A and B are shown apart, each in its own frame.
Chain A
Amino acid sequence: MSFWDDALHRAVAEVILAGALAGLVGVHVVLRRLSFFTMALTHATFPGVVVAALLGLDLLLGGMVTGVAVVLGVAALSRRTGRNATAATGVLLSAGFALGAGLVALRSGFSRDLSSYLVGSILTVTTRDLLITCGTLLVVGSVLAVCARPLLFTGFDPSGARAAGYAVGAWTLLLLLLIEVVVVTLVPAVGTILAVALIVAPAAAARLWSARLPVVTALAVGLAIASGLAGLYASARWNLAAGASIALAATGTLLVSALLRSAHR
């Protein structure tokens, strides 16, 4: 019996890796005000997972395919509708979730299995899930580090960056795809629907404490990991749903940070 045969050990490792991943990408989501887009992405990942389950394909792959389709769809709609990208994103969000719910209703017996893809099932993560999360963390972390300058410039001043010769659309698309990869990777830990909490809340809380990007990033990673561990502990201690506990712990970091910061002022 190895260390990784214990479900709790695997769960702890998964929340640490998932927290680091969510915190890293969450900073970009918060700074670029992409929270609503990320929520749409999480909802649109759901029907992909359902379709993959119905067809007997890899569920993460299914989620990834629909997520990428939504990224490209929102990018195209934003280009055509200009500033009305929010409306386009909202429509895709509802449509994605409705499609998923409709597909679930098609086949009885699926809803129970699929609920773990909606809200996660951290205590049943496999070694394969752990390896995927670890690999994604390495890839996403490396891409964010290598592309830090273009992402900073295009996020802060898109027009200035374009005038300086940066292909702003391509850099934005790269970031959106990274967010989608993270959302899909977080599915075993917190599910498609709750992933947005782990991505956005710790990063938004971190932003309240510092205005220095490296500090905000480190804090976001730390708070996301702490949320994951706290949620896991609460789940084990009081027999709560793990995904929901993690999402609530992440929300708690934002709430407490906002209260403390406002009291400090």
Chain B
Amino acid sequence: MTALRYTGVSVGYQGSPVLTGVNLALRAGRRLALVGPNGAGKSTLIRSVVGLAEVLGGTAQVFGRSPERGRELCGYVPQAGDLDADFPVTAGQVVLMGRYRRIGWFRPTRAADRRAARDALDRVGLADHAGRRYGVLSGGQRQRVLLARALAAEPRMLLLDEPFNGVDAVSQEAILAVLRDLTAAGTALMLSTHDLRLAREVADEACLVNGRQWAAGPPSEVLSDATLREAYAP
């Protein structure tokens, strides 16, 4: 099953392209790392899959549908630093947000929803942090809470925007372990990172971008010194 198929796609905001010439196909159970310097368009590409950035040209399909319709099968994990740490919500409440789409606006949460949220928090190693306020957690713990929120939605494709930014070693290892388990169970995975070592370690496919797509394929080829030099100093 192809989770994502982008053919000649340009993505951007308010009609202005940020990244052009994207040709990608991601199958279930595969891990794709988007690599490139800051401002290369990695986040924009990820955001386009869930309708947060515009697809300005080409053909974009998410599970064979348009991104707007396919996004219900996706779990999106934003950068923890982008969220308001002062907002009075607990880690447990944040994870439960991942179930809102199933619960609806105002129906009471069911035992199954609460269990799914608890299990997701447990998977990222924060089962005993459910009652703690999101803002008092460390950067790594916040990132794990956001990952748990995405897991609680039981997505078929997981999209992570720079999940290792400002994350401590313990959290990084916890996140990596969850990602490996997920893909082993058939979830497609797409993450952006500027950490080349991590990209090589995590991914079985890589895509190098900087304003346009420079290369895509096995990490050993895409992240070679020659290709990187070319893409980073265009």
> What is the interface of chain A, defined by CB distance below 8 A to chain B?
31, 145-150, 152-153, 155-157, 159-165, 207, 210-213, 216
Contact = CB atoms under 8 A, between A and B. Distances in A.
19 contacts: A145-B106, A149-B103, A149-B105, A152-B89, A153-B97, A155-B87, A156-B83, A156-B84, A157-B97, A159-B78, A160-B76, A160-B78, A163-B47, A163-B74, A165-B71, A165-B72, A210-B88, A211-B88, A213-B89
Classify the interface of chain A: helix, strand, loop or mixed. Answer: helix
Contact of B88 (A157, A162, A207): A207
Contacts of B82: 159
Interface of B: 47, 50-52, 71-72, 74, 76, 78, 82-84, 87-90, 93-94, 97-98, 100-101, 103, 105-106, 133, 135, 146, 149, 153
- Interface of chain B: mostly helix, strand, loop or mixed: mixed
A162 B51 contact: yes
Given A162-B52, A164-B101, A156 B106 contact: no
B172 to A, nearest CB: 21
Contacts of B153: 164
Given A156-B83, A157-B83, A164-B101, A148 B106 contact: yes
A148 B47 CA distance: 26
A193 B135 CA distance: 34
**5 cross-chain pairs, A with B, having the tightest CB-CB distances, nearest first:** A163-B50, A163-B76, A211-B88, A156-B87, A211-B133
Contacts of B106: 145-149
Contacts, number: 73
Nearest to B133: A211
Contacts of B101: 164-165
A156 B74 contact: no
B100 A153 contact: yes
A152 to B, nearest CB: 7
B211 to A, nearest CB: 21
Nearest to B104: A149
Contacts of B84: 156-157
A153 B106 CA distance: 13
Nearest to A215: B88
A156 B71 CA distance: 20
A212 B131 CA distance: 10
A156 B100 CA distance: 14
B135 A211 contact: yes
Nearest to A207: B88
Contacts of A211: 88, 133, 135
A216 B83 contact: no
Contacts of A152: 89, 93, 97
B52 A212 contact: no
A160 B87 CA distance: 15
Given A146-B106, A153-B97, A213 B51 contact: no
B78 A146 contact: no
A162 B71 CA distance: 10
Contacts of A149: 97, 100, 103, 105-106
